[in-house]
């Protein structure tokens, strides 16, 4: 979640005081795609203004989120630029946080979440601030119209943008890491525990049928004494391990963890560990780690690892001919 209040006003939303808001408008302020000001001049119709607020919140939800300040100074136009500066225009109408949340939830579809409201008292009136997070369930509509933020304004979304929002591709955010533990020298080689963990950082999307492959380059091997089971294949003379798709769902906050024993030759220049992984719904990613003999420390295994790349998506830099040649010259499934 983005802390718009902190980024814009320098404090968390619920910590703001009237002085913070007044001091902010000492300077000229401009609206942006994530920042909107609504003033409340005398004789303003609150219900009519509330419709504009709901349109803005809908636009924030369909965009990158944002902060709306109700009770901001009036707009001054210089040339083609609108700016806001000076005295606040507090709202004489009192509404509770629950009233706003219920109004927003019942007016915008699908029902939005992650909207916070701050009410600041100034004499007998109020300043209202709305912090809106980008929605995971966009596009949203208000009064049967989809709204977006363009050039600091809320506008009905063109058809092509609505189509793009509806076609958004989302997938579980899988990330992985490795750890080396328990180095032990056996005379002819060193054994180590190689642990891998795969995390799902998407709160609302579980992954299923995910898989991974670990490739050791530079002389290291998976130890013959490992008990792998039928779901794991060992290839390339014990230098590559491939785990078939795992059917158990991968939930947010509950990582998949597995440990294997590997053997490392006592005399080596550099080892590479490549971990590639992906799932039914998520794209393939790769991690590559290096282990150099010059700074090898068996008492602190993890300190030996250098991260070359971690959790990067496979890039389409390799040509078709290179891919076919790799398949012909390497033992792969």
Question: Are 147 and 62 contacting, i.e. CB atoms less than 8 angstroms apart?
Answer: yes
Question: Are 294 and 239 contacting, i.e. CB atoms less than 8 angstroms apart?
Answer: no
For 300, residues 6+ apart whose C-beta sits below 8 A from its C-beta are none
Per-residue pLDDT at 333: 42
Residue 102 has phi, psi (to 5 degrees) of -65, -40
**66 dihedral zone (left: phi>0; alpha: psi -120 to 50; beta):** left
Measured distance CA(54)–CA(102) in Å, rounded = 12
Measured distance CA(246)–CA(242) in Å, rounded = 11
Per-residue pLDDT at 225: 66
Same structural domain, 89 and 186 = no
Same structural domain, 123 and 202 = no
Task: For residue 90, give both structure tokens.
Answer: 């507090």
For 19, residues 6+ apart whose C-beta sits below 8 A from its C-beta are none
Same structural domain, 178 and 140 = no
Alpha-carbon torsion 95, 58, 26, 19, what sign?
Answer: positive
Same structural domain, 157 and 188 = no
Burial class (CB in 10 A: 0-12, 13-18, 19+), 84: buried
Per-residue pLDDT at 165: 85
Task: For residue 240, give both structure tokens.
Answer: 């590559």
Distances (CA, A) of 279 to 179, 208, 215, 234, 272: 22, 7, 18, 20, 24
Per-residue pLDDT at 38: 97
Residue 294 has phi, psi (to 5 degrees) of -70, -30
Question: Are 276 and 283 contacting, i.e. CB atoms less than 8 angstroms apart?
Answer: no
Same structural domain, 304 and 268 = yes
Name residue, tokens 């636009």. Answer: 59
Same structural domain, 214 and 310 = yes
Same structural domain, 146 and 179 = no
Per-residue pLDDT at 71: 97
Same structural domain, 54 and 115 = yes
For 125, residues 6+ apart whose C-beta sits below 8 A from its C-beta are 71, 90, 91, 92
| Domain end call among 144, 166, 188 | 166
Q: What is the CATH number of the domain that holds 258?
A: 2.60.40.10
| Domain end call among 166, 187, 213 | 166
Same structural domain, 132 and 53 = yes
Same structural domain, 19 and 144 = yes
Measured distance CA(149)–CA(56) in Å, rounded = 8
| DSSP code of residue 16 | -
Q: What is the CATH number of the domain that holds 141?
A: 3.30.950
Give me the number of domains the chain comprises: 2
Question: Are 190 and 184 contacting, i.e. CB atoms less than 8 angstroms apart?
Answer: yes
Same structural domain, 265 and 207 = yes
Mean pLDDT per 10-residue segment, the chain (333 residues): 93 96 96 96 95 97 96 91 94 96 95 95 96 92 94 90 81 89 78 92 86 92 79 90 92 93 84 92 89 67 78 65 63 48
| Domain end call among 166, 188, 203 | 166
Per-residue pLDDT at 60: 97
Same structural domain, 54 and 105 = yes
Q: Which domain holds residue 268?
A: 174-329
For 176, residues 6+ apart whose C-beta sits below 8 A from its C-beta are 196, 197, 198, 199, 212, 275, 277, 285, 287, 311
């Amino acid at each position: 979640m983005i802390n718009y209040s902190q980024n814009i006003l320098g404090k968390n939303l619920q910590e703001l005081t009237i002085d913070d808001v007044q001091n902010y408008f000492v300077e000229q302020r401009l609206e942006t795609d994530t920042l909107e000001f609504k003033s409340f001049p005398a004789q303003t119709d609150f219900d009519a203004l509330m419709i504009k607020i709901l349109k803005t919140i809908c636009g924030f939800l369909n965009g990158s989120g944002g902060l709306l300040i109700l009770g901001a100074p009036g707009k001054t136009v210089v040339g083609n630029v609108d700016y806001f500066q000076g005295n606040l225009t507090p709202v004489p109408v009192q509404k509770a946080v629950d009233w706003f949340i219920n109004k927003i939830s019942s007016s915008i579809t699908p029902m939005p979440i992650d909207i916070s409201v701050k009410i600041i008292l100034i004499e007998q009136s109020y300043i209202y601030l709305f912090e809106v997070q980008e929605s995971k369930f966009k596009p949203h509509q208000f009064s049967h119209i989809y709204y977006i933020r363009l050039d600091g304004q809320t506008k009905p979304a063109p058809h092509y943008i609505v189509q793009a929002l509806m076609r958004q591709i989302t997938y579980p955010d899988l990330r992985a890491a490795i750890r080396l533990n328990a180095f032990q020298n056996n005379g002819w080689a060193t054994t180590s525990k190689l642990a891998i963990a795969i995390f799902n950082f998407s709160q609302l999307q579980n992954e299923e049928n995910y898989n991974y492959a670990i490739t050791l380059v530079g002389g290291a091997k998976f130890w013959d004494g490992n008990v792998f089971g039928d779901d794991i294949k060992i290839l390339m003379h014990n230098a590559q391990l491939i785990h078939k798709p795992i059917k158990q769902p991968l939930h947010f906050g509950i990582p998949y963890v597995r440990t294997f024993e590997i053997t490392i030759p006592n005399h080596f220049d550099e080892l590479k560990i490549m971990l590639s992984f992906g799932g039914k719904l998520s794209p393939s990613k790769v991690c590559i780690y290096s282990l150099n003999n010059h700074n090898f420390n068996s008492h602190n295994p993890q300190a030996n690892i250098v991260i070359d790349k971690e959790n990067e998506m496979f890039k389409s830099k390799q040509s078709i001919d290179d891919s076919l040649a790799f398949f012909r010259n390497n033992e792969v499934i």
